[in-house]
Structure 1
Amino acid sequence: MIGILVNDRVKAGKQAINELYNVGYYGRPKGDTLELTLIEAAYLHYKKKLEIQIDDRSLSFEEFFTEASKRQQYFDLKYIVYKDLRERGFYVQPSVTDFRVYPRGGHPGKTPAKFFVHVISERIPLSLKELRMSLEAAHNVHKTMVLAIVDEESDITFYEIRKVEPAGSVESIEQAVQGKRGRSTFLEDRVVVWNSDFSSSLHAAGFYGHPLDADRLQLSLVESGYLLKKGILEVADMSGTSSLGFSEFAAKASVIESEFMLKYMVYENLRDRGLVPKTGFKFGSHFRVYLDFRSVDKLPHSEYLVHSIAEEYEFMLPVMSRAVRLANSVRKRMIYAVYDNVHCAYIDIGRIKM
């Protein structure tokens, strides 16, 4: 069977529709012609089901693969993923995010596609904007977005990308303290609550802070900012002569920690959702997050690792891979939180077996 290379497509005749599309769902019929993408054509050439010509000259697989690489960016990466999926038994067709993939046992015309797959090299930074565009494209048509990362040895790791709306069941701090208000001092890089009863209430009811001793509680910057903004905590400077408003506190905290406001807005959103965020430093992320909290003495397993990122963030894929691997190893989900000055969006990234 012969196909003719024309720009970024290979066109074959009516016989190809019967033998390639009707049997294997390769290409797209257009009248009496079957139009194949360069990747589909390369795979069929490799399988010896298609001869490809240009200017009445047949191309070897090497010649076609090289020519296709000139005509389509990252052709080699996409071919690697396409071939892998096809040989795993999936039907694969082109889509706005590289490929749409049908579930095993399904095919075009019988079942809807299940996955939208986006292909990228481990060496190429992935912008959050690009990731969210691919995620939206999949989400809008009820598909699962999969990121296929090809490493330097041509191995593929698949990651499922999901929008999530985390929610917990912890009562609000206003309900927990029942109108109480505590006094604290902003020291060098944390805040200490002095009142014994109030310290105990904060720690027991919402897992705020870490006890300095039996009577006093140390709070992190984001915890202190949250309680200050809620009107539950009074924060004095070290001179003891003035109390700080939230804006003044945030300005001082941002000098100590440049990402303070980025972290704070996510922390506030998580708390307002009934979740308990605590530092995720040991896991290389901003927060570890508890969905359900009843007692410090019977602390449940934290469900998520959450890392706050800005809208202009770029994923370094080896770094992302390490973060997801670590989260999986400690039985947590890796979630990236994006605050866009209006609301927080949460993106769950986890490995998936295809």
Structure 2
Amino acid sequence: MIGKLKEDRVVAGKEAIEEIYETSYYGRPKNDNLILTLVEAAHLLYREKLEIEKEGESLGFEEYFKNASLLNPYFELKYIVYKDLRERGFYVQPGVADFRVYPRGGKPGKSSSRSYVYVHSERVALPLSVLLKNLESAGNVRKQLIIAVVDEESDITYYEVQESDPTGNMEQLYPSLQTPATMLEDRVIVWDGEASGKLYENGFYGKPLDQKRLQLSLVEGAFLLKNNIIEVTTRKDDNKLNFDEFCKRAAHIEPLFQRKYRVYEDLRTRKLVPKTGFKFGTHFRVYSEVKSASKIPHSEYLAHSIGTQHEFSLPVMSRAIRLANSVRKKMLFAIEADEIRHIDITRVKM
């Protein structure tokens, strides 16, 4: 069969509808023709199921591939992913995303597609705004969102992206009185032994400095100050700090403090227990519940706070997700906006 390259598509005749579309679901029938995308046509040319002509001249695979790459941005990446999915036994069609992928055993016209797949190069940053737009498109039609990242050696890593609504079971008991604490250079110390014990044992706040005193991180100190659990004074003149003053000082110490604090507060409001995620290269490791500080359970999540203008460096994102998965945790990206949104990105096998 012969298809003709016309602008950004390949048009085959009526016989292709029966021999290509109705058996393998390539292309889209229109009137008495089969309209193929450049990627679909390339795969058929590779499989020697189709010959392609341009202005009456037959194109070999190399020549066609070069032509297609000039017509379609990142054509070669899309072809690599399309070919991989087809060889894994999936039916694949173009759509709102780069591809719509049907579940195993499913066929176009017989069942609904399962996934929207977007193709991305490891070298190109992925704006959060684009990711959220794709997530919304997939969510509107109840499809799984998959990002197919192609690296420099043409290996593909598939990531599933979904909204997350993490919740925990941490009921908290606080000391009945406002407890004195001091803001030091980059942390807060609670001096009262009884209050320190209650905060650590009942809420898993801070880390004991010794048997009588508790040291808090800046976000922990801010949260407890805002909730009137502690009173914070300065180390130099013992002036009391209100919440806004505390946050202003903390932001001088840690430039991302405000963003981290908003995510910390959100996680605590969800009855989760966030602790520093420094050892994992993230802002927080997160527990659903800590019944006893002497027997700390496995944390369920790693959480990293990002702004609405964030752009994902895919190698950095890949490292974070790989690490989270290797230690049996979910990787959450917490978007600091009017309302905190949590995005779960997980490596998946297709």
Q: Please give the secondary structure, in 2, of the residue aligned with 1:162.
A: strand
CA distance in 1 between counterparts of 2:158 and 2:346 reads: 9
**Taking structure 2 as the reference length, what is the TM-score of the superposition?**
0.98
CA distance in 2 between counterparts of 1:178 and 1:215 reads: 15
CA distance in 1 between counterparts of 2:264 and 2:223 reads: 8
Paired residues of 1:185 and 1:240 also in contact (CA < 8 A): no
Identity within the alignment, %: 57
CA distance in 2 between counterparts of 1:162 and 1:259 reads: 25
1:206 corresponds, among 203, 208, 211, to: 203
Identify unmatched segments of 5+ residues in structure 1. none
CA distance in 2 between counterparts of 1:256 and 1:232 reads: 23
Q: CA deviation at 1:240?
A: 4.0
Q: Match for residue 278 of structure 1? A: 275
CA distance in 2 between counterparts of 1:59 and 1:112 reads: 35
Q: CA deviation at 1:90?
A: 0.2
Q: Match for residue 190 of structure 2? A: 193
Q: Match for residue 159 of structure 2? A: 159
The one-letter amino acid of 1:349's match is I
2:226 corresponds, among 206, 226, 229, to: 229
Correspondences of 1:100-179 after superposition (within 5 Å): 100-171=100-171, 173=172, 176-177=173-174, 179=176
Q: Match for residue 91 of structure 1? A: 91
Structure 1: 4+ residue segments shifted above 2 A: none
Q: CA deviation at 1:258?
A: 0.3
Q: Match for residue 260 of structure 1? A: 257
CA distance in 2 between counterparts of 1:16 and 1:250 reads: 67
Q: Please give the secondary structure, in 1, of the residue aligned with 2:240.
A: coil
Paired residues of 2:175 and 2:195 also in contact (CA < 8 A): no
Q: Match for residue 284 of structure 2? A: 287
Identify unmatched segments of 5+ residues in structure 2. none
Q: CA deviation at 1:114?
A: 0.9
CA distance in 2 between counterparts of 1:330 and 1:88 reads: 28
Q: CA deviation at 1:239?
A: 2.7
1:330 matches 2:327: yes
Q: Match for residue 313 of structure 1? A: 310
Paired residues of 1:303 and 1:331 also in contact (CA < 8 A): yes
Q: CA deviation at 1:180?
A: 2.7
CA distance in 2 between counterparts of 1:168 and 1:252 reads: 30
The one-letter amino acid of 2:125's match is P
Q: Match for residue 31 of structure 1? A: 31
Q: CA RMSD in A?
A: 0.9
1:62 matches 2:74: no
Tell me the number of residue pairs that the alignment of Structure 1 and Structure 2 aligns.
Answer: 350
Q: CA deviation at 1:177?
A: 1.4
Paired residues of 1:181 and 1:198 also in contact (CA < 8 A): no
2:238 corresponds, among 241, 264, 277, to: 241
